Amino acid sequence: MSDTSSNLDQTLVRGIAWTGAIRWGAQALSWTSTLLIARLLTPTDFGLVGMAMIYVGMAQIVSEGGVSAAVVQQRDLTDAQIADIANYARASWGNAAPANATAEAVAKLRVAVK
């Protein structure tokens, strides 16, 4: 029982470390891109981008709608349901790169679960 508990503790600590590193890296990338855009655009244009990003962020939240959590939770999805999720992602994002990445991730998840 002690080995299992120790192994679980190590896995937990490793998971927390990876999550922290990824979030820190994403935040650093976000700050870097913001500073780069601020240098390239005029103050008026940068303000417009900032205002537009509010709506883009809200649209992302609404369009996601918890689909990722549902896909991870449901292990017995049919091929038709996977296709519907991929189509939903493409429709929500307008065939943009995130939609293709989501569809690809769902397909990989489907293969991993089988």
Structure confidence by residue, pLDDT tens digits, 2-36:
667 778 788 888 889 999 999 999 999 989 998 99
Alpha-carbon span 56 to 102, nearest angstrom: 17
Q: What is the mean pLDDT of the chain?
A: 77
Residues 64 and 33 in one domain: no
Write down the pLDDT at residue 36.
Answer: 92
Write down the pLDDT at residue 55.
Answer: 82
Write down the pLDDT at residue 110.
Answer: 56
Residues 24 and 73 in one domain: no
Structure confidence by residue, pLDDT tens digits, 37-76:
889 989 998 888 888 888 877 777 766 666 667 777 777 8
Joined together, the tokens standing for residue 3 give: 């080995």
Residues 46 and 17 in one domain: no
Domain that holds residue 103: 42-114
Cβ neighbourhood burial of 90 (10 Å; 0-12, 13-18, 19+): middle
Q: What's the number of domains the chain is made of?
A: 2
Mean pLDDT, rounded, for 77-106: 67
